[in-house]
Each structure stands twice: as structure tokens, then as C-alpha cells.
Structure 1
Amino acid sequence: MTDAASFTMYTTPWCGYCKRLKSQLDREGIGYQIVDIEQVPEAVEIVEKVNGGNQTVPTLVYADGSAQTNPSLMAVKEKLAELAG
């Protein structure tokens, strides 16, 4: 789809859901930026704000400021299509 970062994925190295989504995105050629919330303390605040105080990953934040928590590949593709408009 694109090799530029289309969104930021907040993640942890041990998150199985994150690994699965990364694999699916890579296979589809969808670009994204990774932020490990265990390595970037300020990222924890972003994730908690989006998830009602919880540190739930993967959390994806898009250029329009919207977010998705543990989305399916289809949900990500739909959001990217919406943003491409």
C-alpha cells in the first residue's frame, strides 16, 4: 500500500497481539512507526489517554488524531482508506 508511516503503533516487545498485527501490516506493505511504551515514558500517557487509563497495546494513532486499540487488519485498512479520502 505505502512505505511511508501511515500511523504510529504503540506497543511492547512482549505483546502477542502487537506481533500479529505487525506481521499482517508488513505482509500488506502498510507503513507505520513503532513506539515501545516501555522505552518511551511519555508514550504511556498517550496510550492511557486513548484507553481510559489502561496501557492497552497495540494502540494505533492516526494523523487525524483518531485512535484504534487492538484493531483488525481490516479495520486498519478501512481507516487508512477513509483518511486517503
Structure 2
Amino acid sequence: MATPTAHTGQLTMYTTTWCGFCRRLKSQLARDGITMREVDIERDPAAAEFVMSVNGGNQTVPTVTLVSPDGQEHVLTNPSAKTVKRLLGAA
């Protein structure tokens, strides 16, 4: 499955404005200097479709895509900051 991730280390987080889990993950990653591209699925229908395609038809956020240093693409649903950092090679 192809993800919309462009290159190693790029992190994309699919969110909504009201999601507490999204806010927490963003702040935890920001504290460690990890930047991301944030996409609000309520404003971007294509992003909502992608999120539903990887979450059994559900609009579950945060959904995160990234490419680890070994070139492997990952799609994670509600991951911990620790998991994201490990996959980025930042842990």
C-alpha cells in the first residue's frame, strides 16, 4: 500500500481540531523538536478517505504516516510518541 509520505523522516499526522489525542501527540513530539505535516481530515476530503482506508472505514485520528531510516513506510493509528520517535530513529 502506498502512503502519501515523500521521503525518509517525513512525518504526516492526520488530525481534527477537537482531538485530544492529536494535541497530546503533537505537543510531545514538538517538545523533542520533531516537526510534522499536519492534515485536518475535516477540511481535506482526500485525507479523510485515506484515513478511512487504513482504519477499517473509520476516521480514527491521530493517524500517522512516516518513512523510517531503513526506507520502510509505516501507517500508525493513535501511536505513542515513543513509537513515533523510535521509528524515526530519534529515540
Q: TM-score, normalization: structure 1?
A: 0.84
Which residue in the other structure is 2:80 paired with? 72
> Which residue is 1:31 aligned to?
35
1:78 Cα deviation (Å)?
Answer: 1.1
- Cα RMSD, aligned residues only: 1.5
Paired residues for 1:1-85 under 5 Å: 6-63=10-67, 64-81=72-89
SS at match of 2:85: helix
Where does structure 2 lack aligned partners over 5 or more consecutive residues?
A: 1-8
Q: How many residue pairs align between the two structures?
A: 78
CA distance in 2, matches of 1:74, 1:58: 15
Structure with the bigger percentage of helix: 1
Q: Which runs of 4+ in 1 moved over 6 A?
A: none
SS in 2 for 1:77: helix
Q: Aligned partners of 1:44, 1:24: CA distance in 2, in Å?
A: 24
Do the aligned partners of 1:21 and 1:73 also contact (CA within 8 Å) in 2?
A: yes
What CA distance in whole angstroms lies between the structure 1 residues aligned with 2:62 and 2:85? Answer: 15
**C-alpha displacement at 1:6, in angstroms?**
2.3
In percent, how many aligned pairs have the same letter? 56
